[in-house]
Amino acid sequence: MSRKKAIKGKAGTSSPSGGSPTGKGTGKAARSSPGIVQMNGVVHPSRPSISNSSEFYDIAFKVMLVGDSGVGKTCLLVRFKDGAFLAGSFISTVGIDFRIWDTAGQERFRSVTHAYYRDAHALLLLYDVTNKTSFDNIQAWLTEIHEYAQQDVVLMLLGNKADATHERVVKREDGERLAKEFGVPYMETSARSGLNVELAFTAVAKELKHRSMKDPSEKFKLQEYVNKEMKSTGCCRS
């Protein structure tokens, strides 16, 4: 059996309580529509999308995007989906099926979000580089993650909206420092320009695949991979 023949990915986005885990919100994003978005990346485009079924897949992962309301979780996911349809290596092998549950982020959905944490294999934790509050709330998000997510969940911190240079209030160095402090891989992204979007998902997928191998000959180092890939494409350090 080839474990490589197919990888099924599920992704969801979440911002419980319509903002931060502290309930403070970001201030910047007045609207609170933290939908839970589920995406099934289905290999074999000739097959119809198969939701809630893993019979065709050797490996199935669930990935969640979390962070304050308005940091760009939905945009990042949509950007990735479009990239996946357009970009080289994915185009011939991956079809994407989206199901969107727009939960509006009300308090009463918090328990739903917590249930998702428990099942998540990977979490992309986003803040918005133009929104200091969303950055300050990262620690609270990490507390929530430690409380509800699996202990060995793959976690990556993303500073999104890196394209918005004029509005930027959180420096890349600040993100790096925070990530180091908590031992979490980190990079900046932009759903608008596409900066590092595919890399973020690919890095997480590679880490998950590595972990799922029965006999991992060497440990996959997510941050090193990300740094190498950013350098080799000559992109995106600021």
CB of 15 to ligand GTP, least distance (A): 4
Q: Which residues bind Mg ion (CB under 5 A)?
A: 35, 73-74
Could you say whether residue 175 binds ligand GTP (CB under 6 A)?
no
CB of 74 to ligand GTP, least distance (A): 3
Nearer to ligand GTP among residue 53 and residue 165 (C-beta): 165
Tell me how far CA of residue 161 lies from CA of 50, 158, 238, in angstroms: 33, 10, 11
CB of 35 to Mg ion, least distance (A): 5
Nearer to Mg ion among residue 122 and residue 222 (C-beta): 122
Owner of token pair 């973020």: 200
CB of 77 to Mg ion, least distance (A): 8
Q: Where are the alpha helices (DSSP H) in the chain?
A: 73-86, 88-91, 110-119, 132-136, 138-148, 172-182, 197-212, 222-232
Q: Which of 26, 38, 40, 69 binds ligand GTP (CB under 6 A)?
A: 69
Q: CA 171: distance to chain centroid? A: 20
Could you say whether residue 13 binds ligand GTP (CB under 6 A)?
yes
- Rounded Cα–Cα distance for residues 17 and 95 (Å): 32
Rounded to the nearest 10 degrees, what angle do helices 222-232 and 197-212 cross at?
140
Could you say whether residue 35 binds ligand GTP (CB under 6 A)?
yes
Could you say whether residue 22 binds ligand GTP (CB under 6 A)?
no
Q: Spell out the residues 6+ positions from residue 142 whose beta carbon is closer than 8 angstroms to its own.
A: 125, 182, 184
What x-and-dash track marks residues 125-164 binding ligand GTP by CB under 6 A? -----------------------------------xx-xx
Burial of 228 (0-12, 13-18, 19+ CB in 10 A): exposed
Tokens found for residue 217 = 């000959």
Q: Which of 22, 24, 27, 33 binds ligand GTP (CB under 6 A)?
A: 33
**Torsion of the alpha carbons at 117, 119, 124 and 126, rounded to the nearest 10:** -20
Q: Which of 8, 10, 73, 121 binds ligand GTP (CB under 6 A)?
A: 73
Nearer to ligand GTP among residue 32 and residue 49 (C-beta): 32
CB of 23 to Mg ion, least distance (A): 17
